[in-house]
A = this chain, B = another copy of it.
Amino acid sequence: MSYKYEYPRAALTVDCVVFGLDEDDLKVLLIRRDMEPFAGRWALPGGFVHVDETLETAAMRELVEETGVQNVYLEQLYTFGDVERDPRERVVSVAYYALVKLSDHRVQAATDAREAAWFSIDDTPSLGFDHQNILATAHERLRGKVRYQPLGFELLPEKFTLRQLQQLYETILDRMLDKRNFRKKILGMGLLKELDEVETEVAHRAARLYRFDKRKYERLTKQGFNFEI
């Protein structure tokens, strides 16, 4: 190979942290490596960036190839460049992350037949490379983001109860929230439209249903706010 600039260059990879919401559990999508280094160990899906594709394209391609998961909105997280992070050679990795509804993204047979699975975030196996660190960074970013951007549009059914919405926040933040306080704050943002409907087919007292005000939701996504929960 010849380059315009002949000097030793780092290899460039992408890694994907895909969080999946599964009722009241937050999971992360991992693959089991079949090659050295870390053969047999679990790791984040990812791989080398082709010289003619964008970083986003590489991330989406690797995710599909290794897990079968597609149509995920990947957001750039951070670029990890410690000199010794890969035992093979110098590898710099641009990490991406996403949050999806797990039921929409069951793991399919991946094209390269690697094993892929969802793990509860509290119970992940020991990961190869610096992937534990990448995962922790993504988890922290996700919890931070909940505080200044609305959450739930693509994660809840179109009509939902305040209990469902609170559970969503509790799952991501990994702590219980005060019900009265949560309701007061979330309703105060004007993000929700109260419907003239209640839940059906429930054993307990049927709760009021809500839906998001799409316009307000988009505005708050853009502007940000502060949800002190």
A-side interface residues toward B, CB under 8 Å?
1, 3-12, 48-49, 51-56, 76, 78-79, 81-83, 88-90, 92, 94, 144, 147-148, 224-226, 228
Contact = CB atoms under 8 A, between A and B. Distances in A.
Contacts of A52: 83, 90
Contacts of A9: 9-12, 51
A109 to B, nearest CB: 26
A89 B226 contact: no
Residue among A11, A54, A79 with the highest chain B CB neighbour number at 10 A: A79
A225 B224 contact: no
B3 A89 contact: yes
Given A79-B76, A225-B226, A51 B1 contact: no
A78 to B, nearest CB: 6
Contact of A6 (B1, B7, B56): B1
Given A9-B12, A148-B226, 8 more contacts: A4-B11, A4-B88, A9-B10, A10-B49, A12-B12, A52-B90, A53-B83, A79-B94
A48 B5 contact: yes
A21 to B, nearest CB: 23
Residue among A81, A90, A225 with the highest chain B CB neighbour number at 10 A: A81
A79 B79 contact: yes
Contact of A51 (B8, B82, B147): B8
Given A9-B11, A81-B94, A224 B55 contact: no
